[in-house]
């Protein structure tokens, strides 16, 4: 199956600094990637939809100036947490959407990365 990687798998940073997380589709091209945030014992919350070559679409309540998303190529999207604070500590998961051609027309499957644990001290 398709593979999505994330780097780093975990990161610790100091309050006020910025952190960049990379999401790569390793064996397919993804015009669309998704960024989720997962709090302990809670669901995955969609933060934004990243579209190659255009601006990301953010979900309601997500600060676009704080969570900068860049999808510069068909295999790479990055999430930069700017001026991180302890409340930004969380598990960030990306997902890449693969278009497949089935008998009844195109079908879109989402593949998930392993996640990045961010701790802001």
Residue 23 is a binding residue for another protein (CB under 8 A): no
Question: Looking only at residues 62 through 101 of this chain, which bind another protein when binding is defined by CB under 8 A?
Answer: 93, 95
Q: SS3 for 88?
A: helix
**Binder to another protein among 28, 34, 35, 58 (CB under 8 A)?**
34
Burial class from Cβ neighbours inside 10 Å (0-12, 13-18, 19+) for residue 116 reads: buried
Q: What CA dihedral angle connects 27, 45, 18 and 6, to 10 degrees?
A: -20
In the complex with another protein, which residue's Cβ is closer, 85 or 99?
Answer: 99
Q: Which of 12, 16, 114, 121 binds another protein (CB under 8 A)?
A: 114
Angle at 101 between CA 103 and CA 45, to 5 degrees: 115
Asked whether position 21 contacts another protein by CB under 8 A, the answer is no
Shortest Å, Cβ 100 to another protein: 9
| Residue whose tokens read 């990301």 | 56
Tokens encoding 43: 């669901």
- Cα–Cα distance, 3 to 114 (Å, whole number): 10
In angstroms, give the least distance from the CB of 66 to another protein. 21
- As measured in angstroms, the least distance from the Cβ of 113 to another protein is 6
Binding site for another protein (CB under 8 A): 4, 34, 36, 41-46, 49, 93, 95, 106-110, 112-115
């Amino acid at each position: 199956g398709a593979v999505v990687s994330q780097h780093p798998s975990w990161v610790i940073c100091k309050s006020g600094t910025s952190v960049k997380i990379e999401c790569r589709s390793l064996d397919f091209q993804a015009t669309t990637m998704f960024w989720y945030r997962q709090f302990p014992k809670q669901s995955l919350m969609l933060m934004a939809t990243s579209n190659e070559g255009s601006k990301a679409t953010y979900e309601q309540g997500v600060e676009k100036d704080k969570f900068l998303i860049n999808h510069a190529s068909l295999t790479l999207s990055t999430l930069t947490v700017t001026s991180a604070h302890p409340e930004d500590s969380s598990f960030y998961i990306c997902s890449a959407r693969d278009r497949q051609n089935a008998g009844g027309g195109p079908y879109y499957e989402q593949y998930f990365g392993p996640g990045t644990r961010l701790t802001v001290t």
